[in-house]
Amino acid sequence: MKIITIVGARPQFVKAAMVSRAIQQYNSEGKHPFIEEQLLHTGQHYDANMSDIFFQEMGIAQPTWQLNCGNGTHGEMTGQMLIAIEKILMETCPDYVLVFGDTNSTLAGALAAAKLHIPVVHIEAGLRSFNRRMPEEINRVLTDHISTLLCCPTFAAIRHLEQEGIHKGVHHVGDVMYDAALLFADIANSSSTILDRLQLNSKSFHLCTVHRAENTDQPERLGSIVEALKGIGQTDRPVVIPLHPRTRSCLEQYGWMASLEAHPGILLTAPLSFLDMVMLEKHAATILTDSGGVQKEAYFHRTPCITLREETEWVETIKSGWNQVAGYQTEDILFCMNNIPEDREEILEYGSGDAAGAIIRLL
């Protein structure tokens, strides 16, 4: 059985690592058919800290194909990927194409495969924010409707698909990111030095990530978030902000970079490796983010989270009390920071840490 796995954005590297490990385990047991996996990296994230280092830390083999589709508009990137991926699939004729999540790489890979009648496996299928202004929402909806095998991380995801008339090939497998959290938490403890490098103590800092275009590309929204972070950051409990390249560029363009750099309660860093991020997520007092993946990782490490959007795909994190949806307004973010729920529940539907194994068994 030949599989081509398509990745391009930071969280997908982690998810692909877990599936690759499950494939290696399956093959080591001498089962049939033997699974041959090849990796196609679209280059959607082209910063070395957000790409190359992940392959090293995750133990993933280097990609067979490395595209360079990290520049341009959403349409330009998706179009470039679609053209290049189609050529590769026509040459290799895989049995399955695996795609993850909701990025341009996801949609381009799924479209190219579906038009060539190659079965598409969508990992993290069925998630919905119900906000069609988000390019990620468009990507995930379209990918679900052309996928053959839909691997859902939650029961809510299955219900979403049912409401859209998708019943065939739908399976609840749990969350591959939970697999990763269990595996890499201990590794981060022994190998990451980020707390020492930044001179931080456990639970004595907040962690913030902002990268979604709906926040970075709108000065009003980004400005409100910046003001909230300034209000939260204190000398003895700073806000650590690993800056996404897009966010850094927008902060500089809007003229807010200098004030953040000068603020005694703000600690800016370059994009961090996966293990360093795991370490910060585990030891932060609170996480503020517009990332879907980081919302879940906050729960995996039992760190309260505040989501800097008006909605979330991960509704179970809200219901359980581990996450709050604040939006972008300064006063709303500060209100959530001052009202962290004390009663929080366990989330059972993410599985037991074997989601990647369940996906391979389905294949």
Q: Are 357 and 22 in contact (CB under 8 A)?
A: yes
- Per-residue HEC secondary structure of the chain comes to CEEEEEECCHHHHHHHHHHHHHHHHHHHCCCCCCCEEEEEECCCCCCHHHCHHHHHHHCCCCCCEECCCCCCCHHHHHHHHHHHHHHHHHHHCCCEEEEECCCHHHHHHHHHHHHCCCCEEEECCCCCCCCCCCHHHHHHHHHHHCCCEEEECCHHHHHHHHHCCCCCCEEECCCHHHHHHHHHHHHHHHHCCHHHHCCCCCCCCEEEECCCHHHHCCHHHHHHHHHHHHHHCECCECEEEECCHHHHHHHHHHCCHHHHHHCCCEEEECCCCHHHHHHHHHHCCEEEECCHHHHHHHHHCCCCEEECCCCCCCHHHHHCCCEEECCCCHHHHHHHHCCCCCCCCCCCCCCCCCHHHHHHHHC
Of residues 279, 185, 263, the one with CA closest to residue 228: 263
Residue 302 sits at φ, ψ, to 5 deg, of 60, 50
Tell me whether residue 211 is one of the annotated catalytic residues.
yes
Per the listing, tokens 């799924």 go with 110
CA pair distance 238, 235, nearest whole angstrom: 6
Catalytic residue among 211, 244, 283, 301, which? 211
Active site residues: 211
